[in-house]
Amino acid sequence: MRVLQFVVRTYHGPAVRVLEKLWTEHSPNMVVSLVPHFNRALRESFEKAFPGRPFVTVLTDLADYPKHFWVERESQYVVCGTDKAVEQARALGHLDGTVFRTSGMILHPRFYEPNSLDRTAERKKLGLDPDLPTGIVLFGGYGTSKMLDILRQLNRSSLQVQLILICGRNEKLAAVLRREPTRILIQVEGFTTQIPYFMALSDFFIGKPGPGSISEALSKHLPVIIDCNAWTLPQERYNAQWVREKEVGIVVHSHRQVASAVAELLKPGELAQFRARTAAMENRAVFEIPAIFEKILNGSPEKVLAESGIKTFKSQI
């Protein structure tokens, strides 16, 4: 991370010149950034090309960590999905009316589609027990060998659970998991766009501490089991702290502790309480952010408060 940020700073001048040329060629009315590291260069180059036109940074992480990852002093408008990110933007000097607090992270609209499926029938179709607690194991688009370790842990335990394992494009991993002799029932999936469907059939989530995975799971009222240690990406470490603070999951030091975390989650009454806390969260960010863009583009960002319900930092306190 530090090496990357050093390289970004070293080539800041050339990057600004390249980007300024890009903006001049395309003449955008507004630039929206959903990427970290480069927002100083993006903002500075756009200001050089078209002074006064709005530049918006939308954080797709729960917090701005480490420094200069998302929010820069040069940022013009900042859209944050947590109170922590709002506080960080304010600490850099961003004023009321330029920092907007949404209700969470951006999710694909399919996560908001009405859920009318019959969980009993759908679990049976997958060869699963309709009545057993079901965990979905998901580690990004290419899976990870950790998934085999997690399966073996739970298989060795006495826990009465079953798993849906999503391997993404890692066909080798999927084949290994399908061949693994198990006591517990499993359903192994390769690449799929039906994550909301599989989450709807599940009771809890096991995966990495990424903001997208956590937010997707919570949108389906699934408490999360994630790990956080020295190998965790710096920008994802706050996510584990946030999960603890909100009491929407269990954070382990290593994936080798997943079985004990599942056992804790399945203690009498615990799963219901965790799911109740996740259900209390209502993330509508993907629908809120376009309203923010519209008002900023029209030169009236303060109207967002009155007309769309979006909150700036001032309204929060």
Mean residue pLDDT across the chain: 91
What is the pLDDT averaged over residues 240-265?
A: 96
Average pLDDT over residues 270-289: 96
* pLDDT reported for residue 73: 84
C-alpha to C-alpha distance for 71 and 53, rounded to whole angstroms: 18
Contact call for residues 78 and 57 (beta carbons, < 8 A): yes
d(CA 103, CA 109): 15
Residue in the block written with tokens 């995966």 = 207
pLDDT of 79 > 90? The answer is: yes
pLDDT band at 234 (very low <50, low <70, confident <90, very high): confident
Can you give the pLDDT at residue 315?
36
Tokens, residue 170: 């890692």
Helix axes 146-156, 171-179, angle to 10 degrees: 20
Res. 153: pLDDT tops 90? yes
pLDDT at 238 over 80: yes
DSSP tag of 188: E
Instruction: Tell me the per-residue pLDDT of 15-53, one tens digit each, with 9 for 90 and over.
Output: 999 999 999 999 999 999 999 999 999 999 999 999 999
Each residue's pLDDT tens digit, 172-207: 999 999 999 999 999 999 999 999 999 999 999 999
In the structure encoding, which two tokens stand for residue 189, read together? Answer: 């999936």
pLDDT over 60 at 313, yes or no:
no
C-alpha to C-alpha distance for 213 and 277, rounded to whole angstroms: 17
**CA atoms within 13 Å, Cβ hemisphere of 13:** 1
Mean pLDDT across 251-273: 96
Look at residue 300 in the predicted model and tell me its pLDDT.
Answer: 60
Residue matched to tokens 């394992």: 165
Strands (E), 200-303: 204-207, 224-227, 249-252
Q: How confident is the model at residue 311 (pLDDT cuts 50, 70, 90)?
A: low
Instruction: With beta carbons less than 8 A apart as the criterion, state whether 59 and 71 touch.
Output: yes
Using the CB atoms, write b or e for 85-118: b if 16+ within 10 Å. bbebbbebebeeebbbbbbbbbbeeebeeeeeee
With bands split at pLDDT 50, 70 and 90, how would you rate the model's confidence at 74?
A: confident
110/44 Cα distance (integer angstroms): 35
Query: Taking each helix axis from N to C terminus, what angle separates 237-246 and 211-219, rounded to the nearest 10 degrees?
Result: 30
| Per-residue pLDDT tens digits for 96-150 | 789 999 999 999 999 999 888 999 999 999 999 999 999 999 999 999 999 999 9
d(CA 264, CA 7): 44
H-only helix segments in 100-230: 119-125, 146-156, 171-179, 195-200, 211-219
Q: What's the rounded Cα separation, in Å, for the pair 77 and 87? A: 14
Q: Which residues pair with 249 in a beta bridge?
A: 224
Q: What is the CA angle 143-149-152, rounded to 5?
A: 125
Which pTM value belongs to this model? 0.88
Sign of torsion over alpha carbons 138, 143, 144, 147: positive
Contact 45/71 with Cβ under 8 angstroms? no
Of the candidates 174, 156, 172, 251, the one whose C-alpha atom is nearest the C-alpha of residue 205 is 251
Can you tell me the distance from the alpha carbon of 13 to that of 24, in angstroms, rounded to the nearest whole number?
17
**Token digits of residue 215:** 């937010």
